[in-house]
Amino acid sequence: MANTSSAVPKVAFLGPLGTYSHQSAHDKFGDNVEYVEQRTITTVFEAISPDIPYGVVPQQNSTFGSVIETYDNLRQPTVGSAIFVKGEVTISIQHCLAVRPGVKSEDVSRILSHEQALGQCANFLSSHYPHAVRQKVSSTAKAAEMLLEPETEDPGPDAQPVGESAAICSSHCAHLFGLSVLHESIQDRSDNFTRFFVLSTSLHEQPPYVPQEPQLFRALIRIDIFAPADGQSPINLAIASRPLQLVMSTLLTTLGVPITRIDRRPSLAPIPFQDVYFVELEELSGPPDPHDTGHREVAYTNPLAGPSTLRDIIRPQFHQNNFAEESFVKNQLGIKLDKDDQICRLSLTAAGCPLGPLHCPLRHTQPSAQNFQPPKQLPTHPRERERLATVCKHWLRGLCKKGDACEFLHEYNLRRMPECWWYAKYGYCSAGDECLYAHPKERRIECPDYNRGFCKLGPTCPRKHVRRVACQLYLTGFCPLGPECSRGHPKPGLPPPSAYDPPPPPTQKELGPPPPGYGRYADFDRGSGPMGPGAGGSGGPPGPRRNLEDVECFKCGERGHYANHCTRKNVPGNRGGLDRSYRRYGNE
Ligand SMILES: O=C(O)C(=O)Cc1ccccc1
């Protein structure tokens, strides 16, 4: 049994002797320690100190779930700073119903036990003792002990008989207290296990039990909001107002190790409906065993220390490079650098860090999303490439309907203006250098390759491709018209390099009349070609200027001037001028 020498380490447990906590503590520590019984789980936590450096508390039952009192104590700030979860032990729980010797089952009107034991036997109690009052006490052994206590209060002469009490405890406990067992193995599930935490004042020291080869490593992480003390930054409140569930869900999707358990209790922070989470992580040393009953040697690893991938989750060490120059820049030059904090691993995930860059204590780098875009595929066809480098002529007039989908540039860029229509068509533009549109010099000469029969550049060739029917005379040997011939005279030999040179700027004489429809000359360009007067110069070849005496004003109907020079502004009719519809359709 317990070693009473004061030199041996002490282990606090939920007493009195005979509890499952006592049994589990003994399973773990054996006879090499002194056991110090405590009245409640809370007092076990309180007892842990340099004098009593270890404790054992029930934590989770396979049937009834978490031991609330333990988790409530795990919320305390001392846990994680002065008290650490250092190990665990799992035992099988077999309850019995014990009574004072001589008490029969029909006399039982009250059943005492720890709330966990009452919960694990709930079905049995409902079916066998439906009318018995269930009373929670601090432990199973305490319940057994209470059966032996004399009635303290005098019930008075008129009081009804209260009946007999029974206790749910282990058979060993019943035997210890000299009780009779009415029913054995009364828990609702035959496979009923409870895990106990081994608490220690030291995170690093091995507790006084023989360490076995651990089969897995676990870590318990508490995620909480700490209440802002007076004078503290209001940032804590800001964090508090953020739902911690978000942190949790992000953690779940981000952590690379299995989360074996999550518990949640109301936070100790004075914020309504704020919870504290306990996340249990597991680092498997081998593949998980599907027939695993949970009885494996477990070592608790400090997630912040030691060679463990768990540490990387809590304090990720990646991306952190300290260069020698940094200290020189900071200390010698006194230049402020970016925060030296670790980079927040959550911020690098797709879900992002729920605390945001303002409230997260770690560094949030913000690489541009552009960095992760695949490079934009340039069109392969040279003509398409040329388009990408050309301002959209429709956009320039505010008429492009394609918006972002337009393959031309939507920006003012004088270097990338589209080609001047007049220049492209006629090889000159009367606006000359004033013209905002592009005047590619090559456009003014005919493509010597095309004239020979084939230009490999096709439509992308900057020079003019003028289609001509080959001159039959020339092909058969001699054309008397020579260069004046309007038909093609394809040369068999390679053109000289000078044939590709842009021509010298045209002289005023060469320019001739301005192209049809161009600006201020537009009125004079309405040639009397096949489309008749007023057909417009756009697209048509420049015709000879009309004699003004032949021109009839569209507005007033008089001859001698165009409508834009009409002085009779108030004449009614079409577009403010005369109604001349009768002329077209007759006078009816
Ligand atoms: O009361 C005890 O004996 C305890 O150790 C707590 C407990 C109760 C029921 C199952 C497991 C642990």
Residue 584 lies in a domain: no
For residue 532, being part of any structural domain is answered with no
The token pair at 199 is 């608490």
CB of 44 shorter than 6 A to ligand 1: no
Q: Quick one: the chain helix, strand, coil %, rounded to 5?
A: 30, 20, 50
CA distances from 64 to 24, 67, 118, 438 (A): 18, 8, 9, 83
Q: DSSP letters along 307-350, please?
A: S-HHHHHHS--TT----HHHHIIIIIS-PPPSP-SPBPTGGGSS
Looking at the chain, the whole-number percentage of residues with pLDDT higher than 90 is 28
Average pLDDT, the chain: 75
In 93-132, DSSP assigns E strands to 95-99, 108-113
- Indicate which CATH number applies to the domain containing 388: 4.10.1000.10
Residue 325 lies in a domain: yes
Instruction: For residues 338 and 248, state if they share a domain.
Output: no
9-18, 64-73, 185-194, 270-279: which has the minimum mean pLDDT? 270-279
Distance CA 490, CA 480 (A): 15
Tell me what pLDDT residue 289 has: 53
Burial tier of 451 (Cβ tally within 10 Å: 0-12, 13-18, 19+): buried
Q: Does 28 have pLDDT greater than 60?
A: yes
Q: Does residue 207 carry a pLDDT above 70?
A: yes
Q: Does residue 427 lie within any of the structural domains?
A: no
pLDDT for residue 581 is more than 80: no
Ligand 1, closest atom to CA 23?
Answer: 5
In the reported structure, the alpha carbon of residue 168 is separated from the centroid of ligand 1 by a whole-number distance in angstroms of 10
Residue 139 alpha carbon, nearest atom of ligand 1: 1
CA distance 503 to 84: 90
CB of residue 451 inside a 6 A radius of ligand 1: no
H/E run at residue 396: helix 393-396
C-alpha span between 129 and 135 (Å, rounded) = 13
The verdict on 309 and 224 lying in the same domain is: yes
CA of 169 to the centre of ligand 1 (A): 8
Q: What pLDDT was estimated at residue 400?
A: 86
DSSP 246-303: HHHHHHHHH-SS-EEEEEEEE-SSSSTT-EEEEEEEEEESSPPPTT--S-S-EEE--T
Residue range 562-579, pLDDT digits in tens: 777 777 766 554 444 334
Specify the DSSP class assigned to residue 456: T
Q: Give this complex's ipTM.
A: 0.98
Which residue is closest in CA terms to ligand 1's atom 1?
Answer: 139
What is the pLDDT averaged over residues 176-204? 94
Confirm whether 55 is domain-assigned: yes
Q: Residue 34, class by beta-carbon neighbours within 10 Å (0-12 exposed, 13-18 middle, 19+ buried)? A: middle
How close is the Cα of 333 to the center of ligand 1, in Å? 64
| CB atoms closer than 10 angstroms to residue 239 | 21
6 Rama class: left (phi>0) / alpha (psi -120 to 50) / beta: alpha
- Give 134 Cα–ligand 1 centroid separation in angstroms: 16
Beta-bridge partners for 181: 98
pLDDT digits over 338-388, tens only?
A: 555 566 767 776 667 777 777 777 777 765 555 555 656 666 766 666 667
| 449: phi then psi, degrees, rounded to nearest 5 | -70, -45
Q: Is residue 431 part of a domain?
A: no
Quick one: pLDDT band at residue 394, thresholds 50, 70, 90? confident
* Ligand 1 pocket check for 21: Cβ under 6 Å: yes
Of these ranges, 151-155, 291-295, 303-307, 352-356, the one predicted with the greatest mean pLDDT is: 352-356
For the CA atoms of 229, 233, 235, 237, the dihedral, rounded to the nearest 10 degrees, stands at 30
Q: Are the C-beta atoms of residues 198 and 115 closer than 8 Å to each other?
A: no
Strand 259-266 and strand 216-223: the pairing is: unpaired
Asked whether 111 and 197 are in contact (CB, 8 A), the reply is no
> Under 8 Å CB-to-CB from 530, ≥6 apart: which residues?
none
Q: Do 113 and 174 share a domain, yes or no?
A: yes
pLDDT grade, residue 509 (50/70/90)? low
- pLDDT bracket for residue 15 (50, 70, 90): very high
Q: What is the pLDDT of residue 312?
A: 47
State if residue 345 touches ligand 1 by the CB under 6 angstroms criterion: no
pLDDT at 515 over 90: no
Q: Please tell me which residue, 154 or 50, carries the higher pLDDT value.
A: 50
Distance CA 265, CA 263 (A): 7
- DSSP letter at 529 equals S
**What is the residue whose two structure tokens read 């161009």?**
518
Three-state secondary-structure class, residue 409: strand
411 Cα distance to chain centroid? 34
| Residues of the domain holding 412 | 382-416
117 CB within 6 A, ligand 1: yes
181 alpha carbon – ligand 1 mean position (Å): 18
411 shares its domain with 487: no
What's the CA-to-centroid distance between 292 and ligand 1, angstroms? 23
Q: Ligand 1, from 13, 57, 60, 139: best to mutate by most atoms within 8 Å of Cβ?
A: 139
Q: 139: Cβ below 6 Å to ligand 1?
A: yes
For residues 116 and 144, membership in a common domain is answered with yes
CATH value at residue 75: 3.40.190.10
Q: Quick one: 47 and 123 in the same domain? A: no
Ligand 1 centre distance from Cα of residue 58 (Å): 7
Q: Return the top range by mean pLDDT from 204-213, 277-286, 498-507.
A: 204-213
Question: Would you state the pLDDT for residue 300?
Answer: 76
Q: Determine how many CB atoms are found less than 10 A away from the CB of residue 29.
A: 23
**Do 49 and 69 belong to one domain?**
yes
For the CA of 116, the nearest atom of ligand 1: 9
Q: Which atom of ligand 1 is nearest to the CA of 194?
A: 11
pLDDT (mean) for 140-167: 77
242 shares its domain with 300: yes
| Angstrom distance (rounded) from CA 119 to CA 134 | 10
Shortest-distance Cα residue to atom 3 of ligand 1: 19
Q: Is residue 564 part of a domain?
A: no
Of the residues 22, 59, 70, 114, which should be mutated to test ligand 1's pocket, given the most ligand atoms within 8 Å of the CB?
114
Centroid of ligand 1 to alpha carbon of 65 (angstroms): 12
Q: Say if strands 298-300 and 216-223 run parallel, antiparallel, or are unpaired.
A: parallel
Asked if residue 116 has its Cβ within 6 Å of ligand 1, the reply is yes
The atom of ligand 1 lying closest to the CA of 64 is: 10
Atom index in ligand 1 nearest the CA of residue 142 equals: 1
Q: Is 194 in the pocket of ligand 1 (CB under 6 A)?
A: yes
Distance 187 CA to ligand 1 centre (A): 13
Q: What is the pLDDT of residue 499?
A: 80
Note whether 310 and 219 are same-domain residues.
yes
What's the CA-to-centroid distance between 117 and ligand 1, angstroms? 7
Domain count, the chain: 6
DSSP 8-class letter at 78: T
Span from the CA of 24 to the centroid of ligand 1 (angstroms)? 10
71 and 42 housed in the same domain: yes
Cα atoms in the 13 Å half-sphere on the side-chain side of 323: 7
- Both 86 and 137 in a single domain? no
Q: Are residues 87 and 126 in the same domain?
A: no
Over range 439-450, report the average pLDDT.
78
In this structure, which long-range contacts are made by residues 490-498, counting pairs with CB atoms below 8 Å and at least 24 apart in sequence? 490/451, 490/452, 490/453, 491/451, 491/452, 492/452, 495/448, 495/449, 495/451, 495/452
Pocket test for ligand 1, best of 111, 116, 173 (most atoms within 8 A of CB): 116
The pLDDT confidence band at residue 231, using thresholds 50, 70 and 90, is very low
Domain assignment present for 510: no
Closest atom of ligand 1 to 13 CA is 5
State yes or no: pLDDT of 64 exceeds 80: yes
Name the nearest CA neighbour of 316 among 280, 285, 282, 361.
361
pLDDT-based confidence at 411, cuts 50/70/90? confident
pLDDT in tens, 296-329: 677 776 654 444 445 444 444 444 455 666 667 6
- Substitution candidate for ligand 1 out of 90, 111, 194 with most atoms within 8 A of CB: 194
pLDDT of residue 238: 41
Report the DSSP pairing between strands 216-223 and 275-284.
Answer: antiparallel
